Amino acid sequence: MARWRHLAVALGVVPALIIYISAMLWLSVFVTEIHGLIDFMFFIVAGLAWIPAASIVVKWLAKHEAK
């Protein structure tokens, strides 16, 4: 019954995603409008790059909840 993990994940993941999104938006200013294909690839990679880090956090939470 360690519900603190849910709070820790919520308080950690949400600000981390906000920082990540802000960084990708800042970086997109330099990348976009070079070529349409580069724009497309940048936003695909930037949109999916946060998933491995989030999955590590979710696995950690699930591992400790399964006990």
Model confidence pLDDT, tens digit, residues 8-65: 888 888 899 999 999 999 999 998 888 989 999 999 999 999 999 889 988 888 887 7
pLDDT for residue 66:
67
Q: What is the model's pTM?
A: 0.75
pLDDT for residue 1:
53
Where in the sequence is the domain holding 32, given as residue range(s)? 25-67
pLDDT for residue 52:
92
pLDDT for residue 42:
93
**10 occurs within a structural domain:** no
| Number of compact structural domains in the chain | 1
Coil vs helix vs strand at 13:
helix
Rounded to whole angstroms, the maximal C-alpha distance in the chain is 52
The CA distance from 49 to 4, in Å, is: 27
Instruction: Give the type of residue at 4.
Output: W
- Tell me which residue of 13, 18, 41, 42 sits closest to 29, measured CA to CA: 42
**13 occurs within a structural domain:** no
The CA distance from 24 to 21, in Å, is: 5
**57 occurs within a structural domain:** yes
Question: Is the Cβ–Cβ distance between 34 and 56 less than 8 Å?
Answer: no
